[in-house]
Amino acid sequence: MIRPDLTLVQLSDTHLRPGDGLMHGVVDTTANLIGALMMIENSDIDVSALLLTGDLADNGASAAYRRLRGIVEPAARRLGAEVCYAMGNHDERSAFRTGLFDGGPSTDPCDVVYTVDGLRVVVLDSSEPGQHDGHLSEAQLAWLADELATTSPRGTVLVSHHPPVPSPVPTAHLLRLRGADRLADVLKGTDVRLIVSGHAHHAACGALAGIPVWVGPALAYGVAAVPPRGRLRAGADAGFSRIDVFGEQIVATAVPLSTADEVYDVDAAERLRMVHEAVGEW
């Protein structure tokens, strides 16, 4: 069986709340997070890292970050996976730092570099306090350029909560990353292989400076990319992503959290044997 060199799992827009209230009176975001982690732990995926790509708390409450950490990090230890945290527009920098990193309170951007089995993961804080669209300062871009001046054995994945690409959903488009052309200038000629974002609450792919951009689905709820005419619609169709590295290639796959009606459930090894018999190895 062909297996990826390494796998990252993206959990985006968890919107955890400090108490037991439902988001928009409908969504139990804590249950969604626990359900996603249970699905991952019950699978055959060998996870190298969990990427939590912003809007981790719904309102930036310290208790929400403590709750999140208490759920995610024990699961990560059982999986043997690194945890990479990114800020989003619903997050609050001081509470984020103290709740997730045991750091002191600070309103500076939370830009972090992780190394995952030879793959560099650079997290850029695209949030701007008091705003919901994305921003990167000149200082952040200079820091990024310095970091990318050296290469990593398996290249780099760049994480930015706000997508640096357009969206067909008008609200998501207005709230995208501003000044993406400035980011593109920094990325040209570097070893960045993939840009991973969230924020839009719908899955999408694009490109910036010739680099693929993956916008992962939200774990809280999904926004319809094809709503009825004149409407903006969201539903409880949450999801997450698996991002697999196969040598020089990276494949991102959206994974729905809810289970639809079953079509088949067969032994994987037996089905793979049947396919091999039909097409052979290639």
What pLDDT is recorded for position 272? 63
> In this model, does residue 35 exceed pLDDT 90?
yes
Region 198-214 average pLDDT: 98
Residue 56 vs residue 24, higher pLDDT: 56
| pTM (2 d.p.) | 0.93
For residue 229, the surrounding DSSP H or E stretch is: none
What pLDDT is recorded for position 51? 99
Integer Cα distance of 220 and 276 in angstroms: 39
Region 192-218 average pLDDT: 98
What pLDDT is recorded for position 101? 93
> In this model, does residue 282 exceed pLDDT 60?
no
R_g over Cα of the chain: 19
Closest CA to 218 of 16, 45, 59: 16
Integer Cα distance of 60 and 97 in angstroms: 11
Integer Cα distance of 71 and 80 in angstroms: 15
Q: Domains plus CATH for the chain?
A: 6-279 (3.60.21.10)
Tokens standing for residue 109: 């951007």
> In the predicted model, what is the mean pLDDT of the chain?
93
Check if the beta carbon of residue 103 is closer than 8 Å to that of residue 139: no
Secondary structure (DSSP) of 131-189: -SSB---HHHHHHHHHHHTS--TT-EEEEESS-SS--SSHHHHHTSBTTHHHHHHHHTT
Residue 24's pLDDT band, with cuts at 50, 70 and 90, is: confident
Region 103-119 average pLDDT: 94
